[in-house]
Chains A and B, each alone.
Chain A
Amino acid sequence: MIARNENRPLLLANARVIDPSRDLDQRGDVLIADGVIREAGKNIRASGAPEGTEIVDVGGQVIAPGLIDMRAFIGEPGAEHRETLATASHAAAAGGVTTIICQPETDPPIDDPATVDFVLRRARDNAVVHIHPMAALTKGLEGIEMTEIGLLKAAGAVAFTEGAKSVMNANVFRRALTYARDFDALIVHHTEEQNLTGSGVMNAGEFASRLGLSGVPKAAETIMLERDIRLVELTGGRYHAASLTCQDSLDVLRRAKERGLKVTASASINHLALNENDIGSYRTFLKLRPPLRAEADRAALASAVAEGLVDVIMSDHDPQDVEVKRLPFAEAAFGAIGLETMLPVGLRLVHDGSIKLSELIRAMSTRPAELLELPGGTLRPGSPADIVVFDPDVPWVLDRDTLKSRCTNTAFDEAKLTGRATRTIVAGRTVYEYV
């Protein structure tokens, strides 16, 4: 932790201030006091900051609302050897992420108000960023009986999900959507027809065939998404597709949005930056669920983020240790970490011209805040001072041994990256500084 006088107002001066919640992208300053944003955008230094203000010249770097990662798997409780709320929060802070939404696939699962309370208390005591849990949609993540959506939401669950599982029983899912509507609860669903996935471990197609690996067809994702959207239409529930990967799914999503349904979607940073060819010679850190797709799908996903069809970019942070990753590809665990690399890898998409910087911030901060009804995602005066300062142009090479996560299964080891967070502020307190 960086020692400083927390009570002094802080003026971050000489910045490019980006606030998608106000369509703002301009030169200016940001003034923070008492954990709250006082002013953002104008030239405050000229008009005079309050007496005693600490002034930091950020040298033209970008200031944006802190990132909100809508999908991170953390091992606490039950798998603390993979990641704790504390270690995840340090990884997040180093990546400019000020709010982590953790998934209920823990042991025990987060399916009871007492467990939500446990996670919130542990996060409050040990984490340096905000952490909010999503709760399980069904008891024990078994896909049979719905959880106490009302009491869980009241306890602090921001949404309901089965994590990386799908509810295969359509009637169970229908009833959960119906019931959740009474509490205006958001259901976040991994869309995978598991019978079609079978034993598949990567995208079905030529590349999988050449590697001799069994494939997961895109239809496994698209069929479940289609089903879900019919059920949203039937019930009027609020629905978010957890991780879309292909053009076919985007077509389905577009039609649903055009029909005015309460449907939104995320894409993971991995699926926006990588394709199936990156798996190369069986790189298990790129074994993901859903799998990396073809280059055309990746490009389509990036355009969908740019136009706002896909609402959110999330890290899909999933720490796995070497025991489950250093195995033959088919036997290795799914998942890659991403809290720390989400922003720099996202900047790759900005630098290659596929999306604008403000669109990136919108997808990584403003939209998640809106969907989860969280106070962040904006630099509007009066908002909590959750802020990232980043240099979008500094080149660096990722060395996985320097990552803060307890596991280092990154899909971007030794990747050449451009841009990184230099200061992360949570509730007015600087929790990370790159020196």
Chain B
Amino acid sequence: MTTRGPSSFALAQRHLLGIEGLSASDITGLLDLAEEFVDLNRQVQKKRTTLSGRTQINLFFEASTRTQSSFELAGKRLGADVMNMSIASSSIRKGETLLDTALTLNAMHPDMIVVRHAASGAVELLSQKVECSVINAGDGAHEHPTQALLDALTIRRNKNRIEGLTVAICGDIAHSRVARSNIILLNTMGARVRVVAPSTLLPSGIERMGVEVHRDMREGLRDADIVMMLRLQRERMAGSLIPSSREYFHYWGLDPAKLKFAKADALVMHPGPMNRGVEIESSVADGAQSLIREQVEMGVAVRMAVLEALARNLPNA
């Protein structure tokens, strides 16, 4: 990458609710900005003050370790005051509706709310009732935009491009917000996207979402540049959508034999947390082609970029 001045990229929207609606130049702008934070995060002095005085609330209705801590670190490194609210201690448990929670939080004058919720569309609903920026940290099976952005950053740093690459997204597509955000982003950036899964884990109409559909891993991985594995939720493992984790691993788990069908320099990704021995074999997850740990590092940088790019648009900025 050539040296250039610091990015002044700002998102021309108040919220980041999904990848849907972002242009290729928005995505490139965010990724370029994130590159700066990758460098910053590798230094001893990681602190910036661009969000100094800002309040960021992490509102997680669903348990999360890496996304929540990643957003927390991102906010703190940019100088914001970060507050974490998780379901266990929230009023939702006491019967408060999502909108009442939104109004309550709004009265505290936050500048940014990062929201994860189990229901698709819940984050957008909340965004309509608050005056600050809202960032979607995952809503149901709908979108998880910062995951798609960190995946894109990881791909771009390793392949120097996204356009023209063949990306195979494998596993539980039906229930995955990661898959949806990635499908939209990769299509926007000009990649060829395939999905590979048993039919029971494919949402209906998926073939009209800009992807090539494969049920067989070997076919689906053939000559792929990137193999993106998805997590299989435990409750889906025993008989309702697939018969057993044993059979799932046999036909759809990523092992060295199946990976051989992809290009020799193919790279393996997984949004975590992994079920080793179910969707991915340890030797692949920890192998030379794996980018899984780098994805986590990129997560913090991308979230810093999103916070900063939105903050540049906030009133009084």
Which residues of A pack against B, CB within 8 Å?
138-139, 144-151, 172, 175, 178-179, 181-182, 235
Contacts and interface: CB of A to CB of B under 8 A. Distances in A.
A271 B240 CA distance: 35
B242 interface: yes
B251 A150 contact: yes
B250 A150 contact: yes
Interface of B: 198-200, 215-216, 238-244, 246-247, 250-251
B199 A179 contact: yes
A175 B200 contact: yes
Given A150-B247, A150-B251, A151-B250, A179 B200 contact: yes
A148 B198 contact: no
A145 to B, nearest CB: 2
Contacts of B238: 145
Output the residue of A138, A146, A175, A181 with the most chain B CB within 10 A. A146
A152 to B, nearest CB: 9
14 contacts: A144-B239, A145-B240, A145-B243, A146-B239, A146-B242, A148-B243, A148-B244, A150-B247, A150-B250, A151-B247, A175-B200, A179-B198, A182-B215, A182-B216
B242 A179 contact: yes
A151 B200 contact: no
B239 A145 contact: yes
Contacts of B247: 148-151
The 3 closest A-B pairs by CB, nearest first: A145-B239, A148-B247, A148-B243
A76 to B, nearest CB: 24
Contacts of A139: 239, 243
A261 to B, nearest CB: 17
Contacts, number: 45
B50 to A, nearest CB: 50
Contacts of A146: 239-240, 242-243
Contacts of B250: 150-151
B199 A182 contact: yes
A150 B239 CA distance: 13
Nearest to A149: B243
B233 to A, nearest CB: 15
Residues of B contacting A: mostly: loop
A235 B251 CA distance: 20
Given A151-B243, A175-B240, A179-B243, 14 more contacts: A139-B239, A139-B243, A145-B240, A146-B239, A146-B242, A148-B244, A148-B246, A148-B247, A150-B251, A151-B250, A179-B199, A181-B199, A182-B215, A235-B199
A182 B198 contact: yes
Contacts of B199: 178-179, 181-182, 235
A175 B241 contact: yes
Contacts of A144: 239
Nearest to A174: B200
Nearest to A139: B239
Contacts of B240: 145-146, 172, 175
Contacts of B246: 148, 151
B215 A147 contact: no
Nearest to B239: A145
A182 B199 CA distance: 7
Contacts of A178: 199-200
Nearest to B242: A179
A144 B215 CA distance: 24
Contacts of A148: 243-244, 246-247
A147 B244 CA distance: 8
Contacts of B243: 139, 145-151, 179
A414 B215 CA distance: 55
Contacts of A149: 243, 247
Nearest to B216: A182
A175 B250 CA distance: 19
Contacts of A151: 243, 246-247, 250
B171 to A, nearest CB: 14
A148 to B, nearest CB: 4
A123 B206 CA distance: 44
Contacts of B244: 148
A172 to B, nearest CB: 8
A133 B287 CA distance: 41
Contacts of A182: 198-199, 215-216
A146 B244 CA distance: 9
Nearest to A138: B239
B118 to A, nearest CB: 21
A375 B15 CA distance: 63
B253 to A, nearest CB: 12
Contacts of B215: 182
Contacts of A172: 240
Contacts of B198: 179, 182
B236 to A, nearest CB: 11
Contacts of A145: 238-240, 243
Nearest to A234: B204
A138 B240 CA distance: 10
A235 B246 CA distance: 24
Contacts of A235: 199
A172 B239 CA distance: 9
A33 to B, nearest CB: 39
Nearest to A151: B247
Nearest to A182: B215
B53 to A, nearest CB: 53
Contacts of A147: 243
Nearest to A237: B199
Nearest to A175: B200
Nearest to B199: A178
Nearest to A235: B199
Scoring A148, A172, A235 by chain B CB atoms within 10 A of each residue's CB, the highest score goes to A148
A381 B125 CA distance: 70
Nearest to A147: B243
A182 to B, nearest CB: 5
